[in-house]
Amino acid sequence: LHKTVAKQHEQNKDLKLQVCQLQALANIGITTTMIAHEINNLLTPVGNYAALAMMHSDDSALQKKALEKTVKNCTNATQIMKSMLALASGEAREKKLTPLRELIDGIFASLCRDFAKDSIQVELDIDDEICIWAVPVEIQQVFMNIILNARDAMLESGGRLSINAWQQESEIYVEIADTGCGMNPEVAADIFEPFFTTKKDGKIKGADGGSGLGLAFCKRVVDNYSGSISVESEPGKGSSFHISLPCSH
């Protein structure tokens, strides 16, 4: 009996090791797909802008704008790749105090299609003084994912996207609210899980099939900053994402 117990103890140890190794592999897999997801977010507008510039080859202002966006988004794509790899391996990336307003304006500047074209009105209420202590491109991608989801949720019939931010002690609170399709409590409970998506069936007009990685990416980054992210939503009325982040180190 003693021998059997010892053998099973050894087997148990081996199995635990295997589970750890598999978890590490799964982590690499998720990190890689998240990198691909964010690069796709950044490359899609670049491709659209380039196509637009080619169609209007005599419009030099448009050509210049397309080139500027290409350079900016490609730089961000390289940065986000480095960031995600560093995050997965536990390495520290250089953080700096960045004005939130600048990050949000950068997102709208990097997207190709104007929200007004889809009857979406954008309202920003962010004081110029509000700053976040972060790797800028990481937080920018977090907000970009939430903004892109809000746009998908309002593609059907337009609406309003409002972004508010305020500071309370050493935390910055950001609320990103839309008046789109909203979600039921069962969906809301799963949205931060990797690969959870309701966009597979192409039900959302104009939205590409989703991969379910946008909000999982947001959660991973926000958790890494010891911040928090949550959602309140009502079907047919809209959704409101709440994020808290540190404003100093």
Ligand X SMILES: Nc1ncnc2c1ncn2[C@@H]1O[C@H](COP(=O)(O)OP(=O)(O)OP(=O)(O)O)[C@@H](O)[C@H]1O
* Contact partner at residue 197 from ligand X, Mg ion, none, CB < 5 to 8 Å by partner kind: ligand X
Q: What is the contact mask toward ligand X in residues 75 to 114, using x (rule: CB under 6 A)?
A: ----------------------------------------
Q: Which residues contact 129 (CB under 8 A, 6 or more apart)?
A: 99
Region near ligand X per CB under 6 A, out of 21-29, 107-115, 117-125, 178-186:
178-186
* Nearest to Mg ion of 149, 239 (CB atom): 149
Structure tokens at 240: 């409101």
Reduce the DSSP state of residue 182 to 3 states and report it.
coil
Q: What is the contact mask toward ligand X in residues 110 to 139, using x (rule: CB under 6 A)?
A: ------------------------------
Does 180 help bind ligand X (rule: CB under 6 A)? yes
Q: What is the smallest separation between the CB atom of 4 and ligand X, expressed in angstroms?
A: 47
Does 214 help bind Mg ion (rule: CB under 5 A)? yes
Rounded Cα gap, residues 77 and 75, in angstroms:
5
Site for Mg ion in 41-100 (CB under 5 A): none
Amino acid letter, 82: K
* Contact partner at residue 136 from ligand X, Mg ion, none, CB < 5 to 8 Å by partner kind: none
Reduce the DSSP state of residue 207 to 3 states and report it.
coil
Does 239 help bind Mg ion (rule: CB under 5 A)? no
Does 243 help bind ligand X (rule: CB under 6 A)? no
Site for Mg ion in 124-163 (CB under 5 A): 149
Does 198 help bind ligand X (rule: CB under 6 A)? yes
Site for ligand X in 217-236 (CB under 6 A): none
Does 151 help bind ligand X (rule: CB under 6 A)? no
Does 44 help bind ligand X (rule: CB under 6 A)? no
Rounded Cα gap, residues 92 and 165, in angstroms:
26
First vs last C-alpha separation in the chain: 56
Query: In terms of Cα–Cα distance, which of 179, 160, 183, 161 is closest to 235?
Result: 183
Concatenate the DSSP letters of all residues of 59-117 into one string.
-HHHHHHHHHHHHHHHHHHHHHHHHHHHHHTT-----EEEEHHHHHHHHHHH-SS-GGG
Rounded Cα gap, residues 202 and 206, in angstroms:
8
Judge residue 36's burial from the number of C-beta atoms within 10 Å of its C-beta, 0-12 exposed, 13-18 middle, 19 or more buried: middle
Give contact residues for Mg ion (rule: CB under 5 A). 149, 214
Give contact residues for ligand X (rule: CB under 6 A). 37, 145, 149-150, 153, 178, 180-183, 187, 191, 196-199, 210-216, 239
